[in-house]
Amino acid sequence: MASTGSVSASEEALLVAAIQYPVPVIKGPEDIQVQVDRICTALANTKAGYPDLDLIVFPEYSTQGLNTAIWTYDEMLLTIESPEIQQFKDACKKNDVWAVFSLMEKNEDPSKAPYNTAIIVNNLGEIALHYRKLQPWVPIEPWSPGNYGMPVCDGPKGSKLAVCICHDGMFPELAREAAYKGCNVYIRISGYSTQVNDQWIWTNRTNAWQNLMYTVSVNLAGYDNVFYYFGEGTICNYDGNVIQQGHRNPWEIVTAELFPRLVDQARENWALENNIFNLGCRAYVGKPGGETANYLTWVEDLAKGQYKLPWDDKIKIRDGWKYYPDGVKLGPMPKK
């Protein structure tokens, strides 16, 4: 049950807008402020066009771009205390709307690589959720692995929100972790080029169905003189069906009206389809109460820090040597 892009919403409905932001071409730190201003303007204009809007989602890399030659230098990084982030917070408060933003976040330890980060800002201008990408896209992305786990926050209209970033969405374990913590609207922000266009849609759908939750996913759109980014914002129902599907157009706004309570009711009342419950309560027909003992070898090994595949010794690509032969460059940018 959802609208197909209404400007208004039912009292109990969460109206979301995923913006297929044009991939920014960033050549230096001065370009970041340009994008921040542009994002804040887009937020204000979108809220004006959709007055009942509750949540606006911007893609990964929309703030600082994807220039791999410079993206880890100090001048290209932000923190959640940066004035640019304050500008995002002010925009949410002024326009009475929640929003998801992307930033490449400076590590607290300057000797270590930065984080690829997403924040959810509420309509009071407060950070409601701070997430660091758990699965950077190896062997290209030079980010430190996230250390905040998969947080979930209370959102508007009875929603419980979590956000993952791009490649995170290819891991069913992360979607399950969000759902296990109560998430009923799982947000995915991405900066994918066209190589994984089909897989993007499949995983958005399976993450929804396997966990009985809405998924709201949006990707950058357009050409940055190297790659084409496919846009295709996808909003999926908790039964895995696509509610709304964007195209490849930069600036396309994909909207839908979601009902978080219907997710909660499905989780409470469904039986055969209640995958997330049945995982930990197996065969409750044949065994009263079901089997609760762990039967998954990989779960046990991962918990022990001993995760290892049978073909581990045959895996060829284990680092980013091809893309960063001299290692990730940290600190100030070289002087021209």
Q: Which residue, among 239, 263, 95, 72, has the nearest Cα to 179 in the 3D structure?
A: 263
Given pLDDT bands bounded at 50, 70 and 90, which one contains residue 10? confident
Determine the average pLDDT of the residues in 191-203. Answer: 91
Identify the active-site residue in 40, 60, 177, 257. 60
d(CA 77, CA 75) in angstroms, rounded, equals 6
User: What is the fold, at CATH topology level, of the domain defined by 14-271?
Assistant: Nitrilase/N-carbamoyl-D-aminoacid amidohydrolase (3.60.110)
Question: Which two tokens mark 243?
Answer: 């509610």
Q: What's the pLDDT score for residue 1?
A: 34
Q: What's the pLDDT score for residue 7?
A: 73
Q: Is residue 5's pLDDT more than 70?
A: no
Q: What's the pLDDT score for residue 160?
A: 98
Active-site residue, 133 included: yes
> Chain-centre distance of CA 244, in angstroms?
17
Determine the average pLDDT of the residues in 33-59. Answer: 97
Active-site residue, 268 included: no
Identify the active-site residue in 92, 166, 183, 236. 166
Q: Tell me the pLDDT tens digit for each residue of 76-128.
A: 999 999 999 999 999 999 999 999 999 999 999 999 999 999 999 999 999 99
Question: Which two tokens mark 210?
Answer: 């396997």
Active-site residue, 166 included: yes
According to DSSP, the β-strands at 14-19 and 253-258 are antiparallel
Identify the active-site residue in 47, 89, 106, 133. 133
CB atoms inside a 10 Å sphere around CB 323: 13
Instruction: Sketch the domain layout of the chain as residue ranges.
Output: 14-271
pTM attached to this predicted model: 0.96
Q: Which residue, among 130, 138, 198, has the nearest Cα to 168 in the 3D structure?
A: 138
